[in-house]
Amino acid sequence: MKFGIVVNEGPYQHQASDSAYLFAKAAIEKGHEVWRVFFYHDGVNNASKLTEPPQDDRNIVTRWAKLAEEHKIDLVVCVAAALRRGIKEENLAQGFRISGLGQLVEAGIKCDRLVTFGD
């Protein structure tokens, strides 16, 4: 099965990003494909390279980037939501890209399931 994932919440104020990441990882381990993760609303904060969690905490941004690199997952950040929150190309962590809502629509069309995490 081919999955698209939408993350609507930031990395450290809500469980949505952790849940989405664990879902993606479990789906891949079961032989499914995660084709695209679309970061929307406050979820765009998952893509900021300016995030510096304490050494004893998980680095959510790095986890997403590593998973995407290992499994060829497209990590898309909504341009309008990103700009509202001060995130531009130069602030993006490696592995993420900025694009529009058309990428979310495309994921809904091309994937068997589109799973949303967060409000």
Given the residues 78, 81, 82, 111, select the one marked as catalytic.
78
- Which amino acid makes up residue 77? V
Q: Nearest CA to 68 among 30, 100, 104, 39?
A: 39
Q: H/E/C letters for each residue in 67-105?
A: HHHHHCCEEEEEHHHHHHCCCCHHHECCCEEEECCHHHH
Decide if 111 is catalytic: no
Distance from C-alpha of 33 to C-alpha of 3, rounded to nearest angstrom: 6
Name the residues annotated as catalytic. Answer: 78
